Structure 1
């Protein structure tokens, strides 16, 4: 099965583009969503995160995301340790999901493919880019987050230029109609490559 990575910085519109590929009949696995679900569902992950962050990591049975975010935001090592707990579980969940798919290819949406040096896990990679001001505006609207917080997240991710250099395809998502057209062309291109 051909696995296509879909990545891009915060607010670039990865999820919107993912929905476009779903409209072509391509299954999309959203790694961040699955990670969040597993962090709430998996007893093993829960136990390890409480060991790492303390009892405040969860409020009842639910992950205390603001608390975790405040901890890892200022401590890169904690982020690395948390990812070491969560990512292997997401990877094995993805493998099980992949076995159930019957399409010509699948898309795995993941924000930090290049930051985590995971590009070798994909046959092709699509990067979604957009102007920084537009990305900030989208995230402020979506997450009710401050401009400073969003800029700090952007600073922690690779630049669009660095991602573009490592990608097979690029979608510029400043105008949704143009981006949808690019997605359709990439879809056709991948189908041709597979044949």
Structure 2
């Protein structure tokens, strides 16, 4: 069973592309949502996050306080690195367990969607990488339209923290262009056929 990664900068449309693969019956591991689940349920990780980022990391009801956590780490490379060092290994282990269930089900290939595929080291668990590409100006406009809580400065700061488009494109095995000038579905169908052929 082939393991295919899918990544792209904020606003590139990687989640939309992943949903198209899912609509074709491809199992998709959403790293972001799985990480949130692990941060909510893994008691050992919860203790480490509380120790590292303070009592406000979780609400009085025991829910992850994403706003507090974002405020604590945003713009501070050392704090981001600390958070990632705590969360990414657990997501990696969760992914391996998930892959085992998919392999047992006889899937020809699976996808792992992750914004920080290279930055987290998760690319090492994968056979091939798809990068979803859209020009920075298009991505910026999409995020501002989609996320009312983000400012233009927020979006620019997030873009600066992610690996550059040039680096992602250079490291990609496949590129899906989601730049509003090409249809995405035919690109996904072609890749699906390639992956199913092995």
Q: Which category of TM-score, normalised to the shorter sequence, fits these structures?
A: over 0.9
Q: TM-score, normalised by structure 2?
A: 0.92
Tell me the residue number matched to 2:137: 133
C-alpha contact (below 8 Å) 2:12/2:178 kept by paired residues: yes
Tell me the residue number matched to 2:112: 108
Tell me the residue number matched to 2:172: 167
Offset of residue 57 of structure 1: 0.9
- More divergent stretch after superposition (73-82 vs 7-16): 73-82
Runs of 4+ in structure 1 over 6 Å off: none
Offset of residue 117 of structure 1: 3.7
Taking only aligned residues, the RMSD between alpha carbons, in angstroms, comes to 1.4
Stretches of structure 1 that go unaligned for 5 or more consecutive residues are: none
Q: What are the residue-to-residue correspondences of 1:28-67 with 2, within 5 Å? A: 28-60=28-60, 61-67=62-68
Offset of residue 177 of structure 1: 6.4
For residues 156 and 133 of structure 1, the distance between their equivalents in structure 2, rounded to whole angstroms, comes to 16
- More divergent stretch after superposition (68-77 vs 46-55): 68-77
Q: What are the residue-to-residue correspondences of 1:177-192 with 2, within 5 Å? A: 178-192=183-197
Stretches of structure 2 that go unaligned for 5 or more consecutive residues are: none
For residues 11 and 27 of structure 2, the distance between their equivalents in structure 1, rounded to whole angstroms, comes to 22
Tell me the residue number matched to 1:26: 26
For residues 152 and 13 of structure 1, the distance between their equivalents in structure 2, rounded to whole angstroms, comes to 18
- More divergent stretch after superposition (110-119 vs 21-30): 110-119
For residues 116 and 43 of structure 1, the distance between their equivalents in structure 2, rounded to whole angstroms, comes to 22
Give the match's secondary structure for 1:108. Answer: strand
Per-residue deviation, residues 104-127 of structure 1 (Å, max 9, x unmatched): 000000111122344322100000
Tell me the residue number matched to 1:154: 159
C-alpha contact (below 8 Å) 2:6/2:113 kept by paired residues: yes
Tell me the residue number matched to 1:9: 9
C-alpha contact (below 8 Å) 2:88/2:120 kept by paired residues: no
C-alpha contact (below 8 Å) 2:84/2:120 kept by paired residues: no
Per-residue deviation, residues 142-183 of structure 1 (Å, max 9, x unmatched): 221111100111111122121111010000112386111111
Q: TM-score, normalised by structure 1?
A: 0.93
Residues 1:70 and 2:85 are matched in the alignment: no
